Chains A and B, each alone.
Chain A
C-alpha cells in the first residue's frame, strides 16, 4: 500500500500544463507522480503547495525534469529544495 497522493492535471490560465499534487511524496508513491509528469509534454507547472512531505525519491524525480518544469511550493518544502540545489536548476515559486 502506497502513501495516499492526489494528482490533479489541469491547465493554467496561460495554457501551461499544470499538475496539482496533494499529500506526501515518498518512495512508495513516487512512481505515480512520475507517471503523471511523464504523461504531459512541454513545460509543466507542478503545484506542490498541498504537499506536506517530499523526500529524496520525489526530489530525484523532479531533478530528472528540471528542463521543463516550474514548481509552486510553500516555505515548508523550501529547506529540501535549497539544500539539494533543485531551486537553482528550476524556477520555484512561493519561496
Chain B
C-alpha cells in the first residue's frame, strides 16, 4: 500500500463510501481495502450497525480498534495507528485480527471470547504486551476495554477495543518506585558499606529496568574495586573483584572516571558464557555510568544491564543517571558523616579543655589584662599621631582591653558579693560633690550624643558614708545606661537631702521601660530584649550590681519609668554611719580621680557615630587585592560592635572570602534579601533585630532558608547554644574565639551548605521527575510545595504558592455544586486522616474538567517538626470517562432494550441524555418530507412552533450535517443520528454556559451510534407489532357485526390484543345469526393460537347449518386433536332476529344474562354440559328461549365476573345490574358502561370477552327524496315496529309521525338538493323508542293556522310523539323524536 493519503482520499471520494468519511486519511486507506475479498463484503452492503461502529471509530480521537464478522476483520482509527499500530499500518486494515496481533493473540483471544460469548465488556489495566511495532520486540503496557458490537438484530458479531497505552506510566511508576526506595532508608546514620548494601537491595527489586548492576569504587591508585552486585551470581566472570588501573579489565574504568557514560555491547565473552540471565531476558547492552562526586573525580562507576525490550531513550538514561546520582550521594553523605563525626569528637575534646582552662584562670584574668593594658598604654604614648595605622590598632586593643577589664571586674564583683566576700570600706564623704565629679566625666560623651546634661548637686547638710569605688560603679553604670537608651532630650543628675537621707536622682528622657519589665529591672542578667539602644552590648549585670552595691550601703534604689518618656532612678542613702558596721568604717581619704571611669566613657564613645552612617560596608579583601577568582564564597558579617566587624572583615578577607558588614539584624536581613551571601556570621545580641530573630526570619522565607548562619555570642553554655541552633543557626561560636576556629567553622559550613544544596537539588529533581502531581500541604491544608507534573496536570505553577484552601482547582461551587461538595468532602478527609486515597473532579487552570486519584500520607517535616501532608494526584480522567461511558451506554442500552416502541425508545433515550449531562432540556427533530420537522422533547408538550426562529434555523441546518459527528456551542451540544425515518438532529441544552470536552464528544457520538441502532431495532419491533396486531385483529372477531350487537375485548397481557377468549357472530344464509363466546385455557399468544383454530372451526360448523349442540359435539372432536384446546368453555347459540328465538348450548360456559324490559333478569342456564373435549362423543343438550323485544342479552367470559374470594353469582348479579342500569342507552354505549362498571380496582387480570345483543336491532335506512318511497319506508318501519312488540295505536302514532317527517324531508330535500338521500333511523330501548329523520335540505318555518297541510304535519308530529326536536342547519334538517313505551 504505497499510495499516498491524497490518492487514498480521492479513491474514497470516488467510491462515495460515506462510511469512511469521518477521517480522511485512515478512512482513505480503509476505502482502498478490497472489502469484497473479506467476509464483510463491499461497504455499500454493510449493515447499519457496522456503518455506525466504523463512523464512531473514525470520528473518535481516542485510540480504538474494532473487529467485525466471522474473521474479526480489523479496523482502527488514527489515534490507534499513532499510539499502538506503528509500522503495521496500513497493512493491518481489513485483515483478520488474529493475523494483525499474531504475537499477542494468545493473550487477546480469551478476552475476545468472553466478549463474543457473554456480551459483557472486559477491562484490563496495565496489561503487559510485547509488541513488534517499532522494529524490535517492545515491552508495552495497555489499559483497555473490549466491548461487544452488535448487528442490527442485536447479536454480538464483533468487538470494540478502547485502548489507552500506559507504557510510559507503568514504566515511569516502576522507576519512580526504585528511585523513591533508594531515598527511603530510615536509618540516617550509615557507613559506606551500609549505603552500598542498601542500594543493592533497592536496585535488585527492579530487575526489569536493571537486569543486573555492578558498583565499582575507584581506589587512589586508579584501579576499581567491586563494591556491590545485583542480578549476577557471585564470581561471575563479568563481575571481577577488581579492575586494573590500566583499563584492560572487563569494564572500561577510564571513561567513567572522567565523568562519561559508556554503552557496552554484551555480545562476547565473558558476557555470553555463562549467560547473564535467561536467554529471553538476557540484556544485550549495559551502560557504565560514573558515580559523580561534587567538585572532584567520581567515586567510581555503576554498570547497569539494560532491558532488551526497552530502547535506551532519554527517560531510561535519565533514570539510570538518577539512580547512579543517588548512589553517589549516599556514598558522599556516608563519607561526609564519617568526617564530621571525627571533627565533632575533636571539638568535644577541645571544649572540655577550654572549660577546665577558664574555670582555673578566670580570677587571674586581670593579670594578663593588666599586662596587655600597661604596654598598650605605653605604646600609645609612643604613637601620639592620631592618624597613624599602628595607633589605630593600638586604640582598638586599648579600648577592648578596658572593656574586658570592666566586664571582668563586674563579674568578679558579683562573684564576690555572691560569695559574701565583698568587703566595703565606708568613708565619710561629700556625696554631692563626689557624684558631680563622677558625672562630669561623662559630660563630653553625653554632649557628643547631642543630649543636654544637667548636674544639680548642691552640698548636702551632712556627711554620707560610702565606699568610693562602689559608688563610682553605681553612678557610672547608671549614667552609661542612661546614655545608651536616650536618643534625644536630656540626662539629669540631682542630689538632695530629704527625711534624714541623701537622695540622688538620675533622670533621662530615653525610651523608658515597659510596665511589665519594671519588676525585673534589677534582676541579675535580665536584659530587655529588642529595646532600641545605642548598643546591644552588655552583660545584663549593671543594674543588678548597682542594686547590690547600694544594698551594701544600707540604702535603696527605685526606678520610675514611662515607656517613651524616660526613666529616673532614685537612690536613698541614710546620713551618718549608724547603720553601718563600725569595723567597715575607714577614715576619709583624699579626693582622687575616679579610677574606673575611663572604661565606661571609652565604651560609651564607641557607641556614638564617628563617621557617616551606612547599612552595608563592603570590605576590601585580600582576595580582591590579589585577584582571586570571584567564585570564592561571600560572607556577610552582622555585629553592632564596630571593632568586631572590622576584625572579622580583616580576618575573613585575608583568607580569601568576600566580606560585607552590617550593624544590626534588620540591615543584615535587607542585605541578604538583596543578594544572598554564601554564609552569614551574626552576633546574637544586636539592637533592633537580634541574631536569633534574624535567623528565624531567614528560615521562614524559602528564598533564604538554606543560607548557613554562624552565630557569635558572648554567652557561653550549652543552653545558649541550643537556643541558637534551635532558631536555625548552623553553628554557634562563643566569644572569645580563636581566629583559626572561626575560619574552620566558616569553611566547614560553606562546604556543608554546598553539599546540602546539592541534596536539596537532588530532592527537587526527584520530586520533579515524578510523573504524578506531587504536593505538600501544611496543617491548615494550604498547598506549600508542588512539582513540575502538578503544573503539567493542573496548570498551577509554583509561583502561586502557597495555595490556600479553597484551592483554585476546586470546581466552582456556583456552577457545579455537586463536584464542589465532592472535593470538599475529600479535603476534609485529607486534613483529618493520617493516610488515604480518593478520586475527585478538579478544574484545570484553563477551565476544563479533570479527574484525579489522590493518595496522601501525613509526615513530619524534619526541619520544622510540623505535621504536613504529602500527596500525589494521578490523572485518571481517561479511566473515569471510560467508566462513565460504560455506564452511560449500559443505561441507554437498558432503555432501548426495554422500549416497546419507537417513540418509547426515543423518549427514554432523550431523558437519559438529559440526565447524563444534567441538561435543562433535550430535543430531537426529525425531518419530514412536507414542511416542519417532527419534534420530541424532554419538556412535555413542546412543539416545533414553540422553538425560537433561531433554534428552528439551527436544528434545520443540523439535519444536513454528517451523522454521528458531535458539535457544540457554549450552551449546548448536538449530533445528528440516523432515525429509521430519516436524519434526526438531537440537541442537549445545558441552560448555562458549560464546557463540552472531547470526552463528552466521544461519549455523545458513542451514545448517538447506539441510539441509531436502538431506534432501528425499535422500528423493526414496531413494524413487527403492527403486523402482529393486524393478524391478531384478523383472528379475533368478525370484521363487521350484525346490527344490534356490541362487543368488547380486553386481553390480560398487553401489548397483545388477543388472548384465549373470543366472541364471534356468524351470519347464516337464512338470516339467522350464529353467536359464539368462548374461553380457552391460558392466556397470551399460546392461548390465542388455540382460540383462532377453535373459532374458525366453530364458525365453519355453524355455516354448515348445524345446531348449537351439534356444533359443540363436533368441536369436542376437533378440540381433542389440538394441544391446549381441552377444557375450553363455549357458549354457542343460533338466533332468529325477527322472532328473538335463540337455540343454544353451553360447554361449561358461564350462563348468559337476559335483561328483560320490565327490569327482571333471566339466566340462560339450560343446555349446559362439560367443557370441550372432556367427554368427546357424548351427546350435548340444547335449550331454547326467546329474546323478547327490547330485552338485552349479555354473553361474556369469566374474566368479566370472576373475582377472587367472591362467588361467581355475585359477579353475575353485578353484571345484570349493569345491564339494567344502561337499559335506555344505545347498545354500544351500554358495552362501555358494563366494562367500566365491572372493572376491578387494578384492571382486569384475565382476558375478557363481552357480547351484547338487543332486540330488535335498530332500523337504519336511507332512501331518495321521492314521494314514491314513502310506502316502502312505511312498510319497513311497520315491520320493525312489529318486532318491537308495541301496542297497535303506538305503532300507528309512530308511523304517522315518521311519515310526516319523511314527507317534509322529501318535499324540501327534493326542492333544495334533488337526489340526496333521506335517512331514517329507529332504535328501541327497554322503555323508550327513538326516531330520527335527516335530510340535506332546509325546512320552511312552520306557519300554524295557515291551513297548509305541512304546518299540520309538524303539529301532528308534536301531538303524536312525546318529544320532537327539529334542528335545521347548513347541512340539512334533522327531526329527532322520542316516545315512551308504556
Give the B-binding residues of A (Cβ under 8 A). Answer: 1-4, 24, 26-28, 53-57, 59-61, 63, 75-76, 79-80, 83-84
Contact = CB atoms under 8 A, between A and B. Distances in A.
Contacts of A55: 1296, 1299-1300, 1303, 1353, 1356
12 contacts: A1-B1268, A26-B1274, A26-B1299, A28-B1271, A55-B1303, A55-B1353, A60-B1348, A76-B1289, A76-B1292, A79-B1289, A79-B1296, A83-B1359
A84 B1360 CA distance: 11
Contact of A4 (B1267, B1271, B1359): B1271
Given A53-B1295, A56-B1349, A83-B1360, A3 B1300 contact: no
Nearest to B1303: A27
B1292 A79 contact: yes
Given A53-B1295, A53-B1299, A79-B1360, A26 B1267 contact: yes
B1300 A56 contact: yes
Contacts of A4: 1271
B454 to A, nearest CB: 152
Interface string B1343-1362: 00001111011011001100
Given A79-B1293, A83-B1356, A57 B1274 contact: no
Interface string B146-188: 0000000000000000000000000000000000000000000
A27 B1267 contact: yes
Contact of A53 (B1274, B1306, B1353): B1274
A14 B1360 CA distance: 37
Contacts of B672: none
B1307 interface: yes
A57 B1307 CA distance: 12
B1270 interface: yes
Given A53-B1295, A56-B1349, A60-B1349, A3 B1271 contact: yes
Interface centre among A54, A56, A76 (most CB of B within 10 A): A56
A26 B1360 CA distance: 17
Contact of A57 (B1288, B1349, B1355): B1349
Contacts of A61: 1349
B1302 to A, nearest CB: 9
A27 B1303 CA distance: 7
Interface centre among B1271, B1299, B1303, B1348 (most CB of A within 10 A): B1271
Contacts of A1: 1268
Interface centre among B1274, B1347, B1352 (most CB of A within 10 A): B1352
A59 B1349 contact: yes
A61 B1289 CA distance: 23
A59 B1356 CA distance: 11
Contacts of B1355: 83-84
Interface residues of B, number: 26
B642 to A, nearest CB: 149
Interface string B975-1006: 00000000000000000000000000000000
A2 B1270 CA distance: 9
A56 B1349 CA distance: 5
Interface of B: 1267-1268, 1270-1271, 1274, 1288-1289, 1292-1293, 1295-1296, 1299-1300, 1303, 1306-1307, 1347-1350, 1352-1353, 1355-1356, 1359-1360
A19 B738 CA distance: 174
A54 B34 CA distance: 94
B1296 A80 contact: yes
B1292 A26 contact: no
B1340 to A, nearest CB: 14
A11 B827 CA distance: 127
Contact of B1356 (A24, A56, A76): A56
A57 B1356 contact: no
A24 B1295 CA distance: 12
B1270 A3 contact: yes
A55 B1270 CA distance: 11
B1281 to A, nearest CB: 13
B1303 A57 contact: yes
Contacts of B1306: 27
A83 B1353 CA distance: 11
A28 B1299 CA distance: 12
B1361 to A, nearest CB: 12
A57 B1296 CA distance: 11
B122 to A, nearest CB: 90
Given A53-B1295, A57-B1303, A79-B1360, A84 B1352 contact: yes
Contacts of B1356: 55-56, 80, 83-84
B1296 A2 contact: no
A24 B1268 CA distance: 12
B1257 to A, nearest CB: 24
A56 B1356 CA distance: 8
Nearest to A75: B1289
Contacts of A53: 1274, 1292, 1295-1296, 1299
A30 to B, nearest CB: 9
Nearest to A23: B1271
Contacts of B1293: 79
Contacts of B1268: 1-3, 28
Contacts of B1288: 76
B507 to A, nearest CB: 146
Contacts of A26: 1267, 1270-1271, 1274, 1299, 1303
Contacts of A24: 1271, 1274
A43 B324 CA distance: 152
A91 to B, nearest CB: 20
A53 B1349 CA distance: 16
Given A79-B1289, A83-B1360, A28 B1348 contact: no
Given A27-B1267, A28-B1268, 18 more contacts: A3-B1268, A26-B1267, A26-B1274, A26-B1299, A27-B1303, A56-B1350, A56-B1352, A57-B1303, A57-B1349, A59-B1349, A60-B1347, A60-B1348, A60-B1352, A79-B1296, A79-B1359, A83-B1359, A84-B1355, A84-B1356
